[in-house]
Amino acid sequence: MARRADMVRTCALTRAEMPVEALVRFAVGPDDVLVPDVDARAEGRGVWITLSQDAVAEAVKKKAFARSLKAPVTVADDLAELTRKRLEQRLLSSLGMAKKAGQFVSGATKVKVALETNQVVALLTATDAAEDGRKKMLGTLRALNYARREQGISGPDVPHFELLQSAEMGLALGVENVIHAALTTGAAAQSALEKAKRLARYIAPPTEEHTDRRAASGVLLSAEQDERR
């Protein structure tokens, strides 16, 4: 059986063949209503679209779903926003699992310690965080990534995400107003990291470079990119 990372599907909008990680699936329910199948687990007919909010909105506008399915299907006008909400829900659920596994820390002091001791696989900042606190935490992240490169540690820099409001994370995690948080080493944290990457890529505005490299709120940021803002 082929590994998921090796699977390729065709975007119904662009007709480009892409790895499934770069796509989002939509499934047809028993009432012929199209729904986001962000985990690609629903049985039955499905349609794949590039993992981009703009692409999903364009697919709705151009009726790409019915054309691909060769059958009438009910498609919500706000399908792109519904898909974003579903991706956010999956991320919040994964953060909860990471917290239960002891692989999630919150609070400026705890996060700073985790960064300084190289325990972090991703830094999370609420979209409504104060600018001064955000800059201080990103300074610590830049120092970590610089030290990792100097030590010859292989792999990409530890990423930074701004995807959710503090109240959203707090409600889902049972913690009041999560402003600064981090995922630490472990399988549950890695699962949450992958879902954060997918949401970041989905909401990123198109750029001349790669979609999920746009330095903007709600988009996956690297420390080096953020330093150049």
Q: Tell me the CATH number at 73.
A: 3.30.1230.10
Let me know whether 205 and 151 are in one domain.
yes
Compute CA distances 167 → 141, 170, 175, 179, whole Å: 23, 5, 9, 9
Report the domain count for the chain.
2
Let me know whether 113 and 69 are in one domain.
no
What is the token pair recorded at 185? 């080493």
Q: DSSP labels for 90-116? A: HHHHHHHHHHHTT-EEESHHHHHHHHH
Let me know whether 190 and 163 are in one domain.
yes
- Given this model, what pLDDT does residue 1 score? 41
Let me know whether 8 and 102 are in one domain.
no
Let me know whether 62 and 114 are in one domain.
no
pTM as predicted: 0.87
pLDDT in tens, 53-77: 999 999 999 999 999 999 999 999 9
- Given this model, what pLDDT does residue 28 score? 94
C-alpha radius of gyration, the chain, whole number: 19
Q: Which residues of the chain have pLDDT under 50?
A: 1-2, 208-229
Let me know whether 133 and 73 are in one domain.
no
Could you say which of 77, 111, 135 is where a domain stops? 77
Let me know whether 164 and 114 are in one domain.
yes
- Given this model, what pLDDT does residue 222 score? 42
- Given this model, what pLDDT does residue 3 score? 55
Let me know whether 105 and 169 are in one domain.
yes
Could you say which of 77, 111, 130 is where a domain stops? 77
In the chain, % helix, strand, coil (3-state, to 5) comes to 45, 15, 35
Let me know whether 49 and 101 are in one domain.
no
Residue 138 sits in a domain whose CATH number is: 3.30.1330.30
**Interacting residues of 10 by C-beta distance below 8 A, sequence separation 6+:** 16, 17, 18, 48
- Torsion, Cα 192 9 28 97, to 10 degrees, reads -10
Could you say which of 35, 51, 77 is where a domain stops? 77
- Given this model, what pLDDT does residue 95 score? 97
Let me know whether 23 and 95 are in one domain.
no
Angle at 226 between CA 24 and CA 216, to 5 degrees: 45
Let me know whether 55 and 28 are in one domain.
yes
Let me know whether 73 and 131 are in one domain.
no
Range of the domain at 61: 4-77
Count the neighbouring beta carbons within 10 Å of the beta carbon of residue 76.
Answer: 14
